[in-house]
């Protein structure tokens, strides 16, 4: 699963991650921690979240303080990695590499969300 943004290089897709946590606050632990949220920003949405081209039954949302909604995948909140690396493509574009996969931090492990 990926989230797309318009950048100086055009539209780029960035991978999203799940957070498995053994922390006392469970999966919401990263969203509640300022240090974690800087390194792993939550995937936010306005309204009902969706995913183009795939069944959306696994996608949902959870409320955060301030009236924000964080996108969830099978009940787990989703995050991006602030240190995501880009690799150049032959056409002059770039693609995110998913280098946050398997990172252990903040009492849990971040894992890429599968495309299907």
Inter-residue contact 30 to 62 (CB < 8 Å): no
pTM passes above 0.85: no
DSSP 103: -
Look at the block and give the residue holding tokens 């903040």: 106
Query: Structure tokens of 30?
Result: 């990263």
Give, for all 116 residues of the chain, the pLDDT tens digit: 555 544 555 555 778 898 887 554 444 567 667 888 899 998 888 777 766 655 567 888 888 778 888 888 888 888 999 998 888 888 877 778 889 999 998 888 999 887 65
Where in the chain are the domains?
2-112
| DSSP code of residue 113 | P
Rounded Cα gap, residues 48 and 116, in angstroms:
20
């Amino acid at each position: 699963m990926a989230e797309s943004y318009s950048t100086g290089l055009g539209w780029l897709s960035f991978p999203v991650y799940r957070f498995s946590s053994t922390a006392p606050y469970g999966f919401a632990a990263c969203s509640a921690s300022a240090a974690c949220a800087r390194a792993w920003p939550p995937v936010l949405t306005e309204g009902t979240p969706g995913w183009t081209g795939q069944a959306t039954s696994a996608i949902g949302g959870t409320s955060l303080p301030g009236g924000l909604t964080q996108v969830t995948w099978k009940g787990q909140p989703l995050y991006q990695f602030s240190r995501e690396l880009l690799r150049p493509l032959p056409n002059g574009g770039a693609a995110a590499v998913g280098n946050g996969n398997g990172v252990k931090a903040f009492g849990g492990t971040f894992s890429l969300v599968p495309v299907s």
